[in-house]
Amino acid sequence: MSTDIVWHQHATNKASRGAQKNQIPRVLWLTGLSGSGKSTIANLLEQKLVAEGKHTYLLDGDNVRHGLCGDLGFSDKDRVENIRRISEVAKLFVDSGTVVITAFISPFKADRDYCREILDDNEFVEIFIDTPLAVCEARDPKGLYKKARSGDIPHFTGIDSEYQAPVNPEITVTYQDEYAVATADRLYALLVEKGFV
């Protein structure tokens, strides 16, 4: 980055934007294996928050790879850059006063910690969708595990690439033997109970 670039401080700030929306802006970061239900639960959670009058934006792993991160592959280096970009975008949304929901495998602890570190205290809420690998693989909604097992997709998280599960997430929910809406309802209740929404 050039040393000639200076952050321009705007008169309207994050606090005033959040107050206008009657909410505290945060990042609700859903992480878990492929097929764990992150996108499904994030979508249901956003619907619930919007119904409650919250101003939200959902950043989903596949969607951002169509544009913002369309130039990246799935090597460890590209995965790190993918999450770095998402973290910076999430930070901008938080500055706008928005509640940001993200749904990314985000396999590396250091990358999730990066997002936490660039935000203010209590603005990053790590939510671990703790679905066992066997369940994710049995679901295999996109057929990715089958391709990974046959060698067609190298570096697949949970198969031949590591997933570093959160050690102390703010919230852990399992999504295994119930309807997704029930899991989303449990997550919403936990967010309310802990004062995150």
Please give the positions annotated as active site. 106
Query: Of all helices (H) and strands (E), which one includes residue 99?
Result: strand 99-103
27 closest CA partner among 59, 51, 52, 68? 59
Beta pairing, strands 124-129 & 99-103: unpaired
Residue 136 DSSP SS3: helix
Between CA 197 and CA 76 the distance in angstroms is: 33
State the residue for tokens 């089958």. 146
CA separation (Å) from 75 to 79, 117, 140?
6, 24, 21
Beta pairing, strands 171-173 & 27-31: unpaired
111 closest CA partner among 134, 142, 77, 140? 77
Greatest CA separation for the chain: 56
